[in-house]
Every structure is written in C-alpha cells, then in structure tokens.
Structure 1
Amino acid sequence: MNGKKLMRQAMLGLILAGTAVSAVPLDAAGLILEEQGPTLAVKHSLKGNSLHLKLEVSRFTFSLDNMGKENKAGEGHAVLYLDGKKTAKIFDKEYVLDEIPPGKHQVVIELAHNNHESYGVKQAFQISVKP
C-alpha cells in the first residue's frame, strides 16, 4: 500500500473513531501539510548615508516585549548585519540605519525567534554609499 493511500485510510479511521481532525490542514491529495514558517521581503533605499528599510513579513509578528523570553511560533525580531557584523535588532516593519561609512557594504536582514535563534529566513543585498 502506498504512503498516500495509507495516510488517507488513517485519517478516515480517526474521523470514524470520532476524533476531531478538522483543524489539520490537508493538501489536494489529502496529505497533512507542514506548517509554513514566516516569510521576509526587504525593500531598501539609500538617502545620503542612511539606509531606509521596509520589511514585508507574513506569518510573523515583531515583539520587543517578548525578546529573550519563551519562543512563540511566528514571533520575534529582525537582525541587521552590516558587513557581517550584527548592527541592530529591528522590532518594526520600518527601520533607518544612519551614518553608514562611504563605500560598498553587504547588508543582511534575518528573522529571529524571541530567544535570538534564527528562523533561517533572511535576505541579503549590497549597497554603495557615496563619500
């Protein structure tokens, strides 16, 4: 018996046994979907030596109050790295980093849990600040 058929039969058995399974998300084949984690899209612009960021997130909530506390799914903060150095923690969808030195820089924005562990969701880009 293949895995899909076995899964469908197991789900049918649970339903017939009276176990509530309606909250379990299923795909088109009737298989249980894994929970999807947060997503991140970063829009940025340079104004002089200031980097303006707009973070578009889904399935994620910024939380300064819970930083360093117990993890909650889809909650935390963003971390800004400039040239590989942790530069700022971000707790809102918009952020400005001022006084960036002239030159080319690598920027990474990464989503983090309340306990600072990475979600594994990040976006990287380069900027060039004029003297």
Structure 2
Amino acid sequence: MNRFVLMFVCFLCVLSGCVEDKPRPEGSMSVVPLDIVEASESAIEVSSLKQPKDIVVNHHVRGQNIYVECYIPSFTFKEKGGTNVNGEGYMQVYVDGKKVDEIFTAAFIIKGLEKGKHHIMIEVVHNDSSDYQLKKSWNVNIR
C-alpha cells in the first residue's frame, strides 16, 4: 500500500511539473508601433501609429444580389463631411468601373445586378473624401 501511495505521489509530481512550460503558438503575437504623446512621472500617454492598411472583404452571391461584409482594423465608419480624421471615413462602391454608392457601414448588399460577369471595387476614403490608398476589388458572376 505504501508503495502504491509513493508511486501515486511521484506521478502527480511529474504531471504538475509539465503544466508550467506550455508551448506558445507561432505567429500569435503582433507588434503595434506607438507614439509617445505626453509623458509624466506617473503615466505615459501613447497613441497608435497604425493606420488602416488592409481591408478584409467577405462576399456571397445570392441570385442577383451580393452580400458584402468588410473588416478594416482600427477604422470607424462615419458620415461624409467634416474634418479629415485618421481612422475614420466611409467606402465608395464601384460596379464595372462606375461609382454606384457611398457606404457608411461595414456590411451592405449590392442589389439587382444583371446576369453576367461584374467587377466590384471598394475604395476607403476619409470623411473629407480624400483617399486612404486602400482598395479591394474582385469579380463575380451572376447567373
């Protein structure tokens, strides 16, 4: 019986030693550059220098409609007009090279496209309509 208890305690010690050194997944860390805005002895105020540099677009074609969902990191959708604020703005939607609408939300529907192939482009712009140099385009086939 004593031998069983001793083996059980040794087994628990081995298992408890393994839980502290867990491997970390590769690529899960990200680095965001910061700019020191104001420094004092008690706190340092920082702001991110990261501007929207990528747009992730998911789309689904159903009938003659395209359901579009966009994700832009560190970006807030605002109405057109006002001052140029970094990280704020809206999107302009183009179908076959023609501007069809201005969008102020991350998800929207392009309705009633004719049958055939179409080229869709989304351009992200500031509140004052200046360009972010951030665009995404793709082709769809309406059947």
Normalising by structure 2, what TM-score?
A: 0.65
- 1:41 match: 56
1:58 aligned partner, one-letter code:
P
Q: Distance in 1 between matches of 2:131 and 2:56?
A: 16
Which digits, 9 at most, give the CA deviation of each residue in 1:78-113, with x for residues without a partner?
111111111111111110010111111111111110
Cα drift, residue 23 of structure 1: 4.1
**Is 2:134 the counterpart of 1:121?**
yes
What pairs with 1:1-131 in structure 2 (closer than 5 Å)? 20=39, 22-23=44-45, 35-38=49-52, 39-64=54-79, 67-130=80-143
Return the offset for 1:119.
0.4
Partner of 1:29: none
Mind listing any 5+ residue stretches in structure 2 that lack a counterpart? 1-37
Higher relative contact order (CA 8 A, sep 6+): 1
Q: Which runs of 5+ in 1 are unaligned?
A: 1-18, 26-33
Partners in 1 of 2:46 and 2:72 — Cα distance?
24
Q: Which has the larger radius of gyration?
A: 2
Secondary structure of the equivalent of 1:58?
coil
* Number of aligned residues: 102
Cα deviation digits, residues 33-85 of structure 1 (max 9, x gap)? x8221131100011100010001111110012xx1211111001011111111
Question: CA RMSD, aligned part only?
Answer: 1.8
What is the TM-score of this pair, normalised by structure 1?
0.71
Q: Distance in 2 between matches of 1:79 and 1:37?
A: 19
CA distance in 2, matches of 1:68, 1:89: 12
Match of 1:114, SS? coil
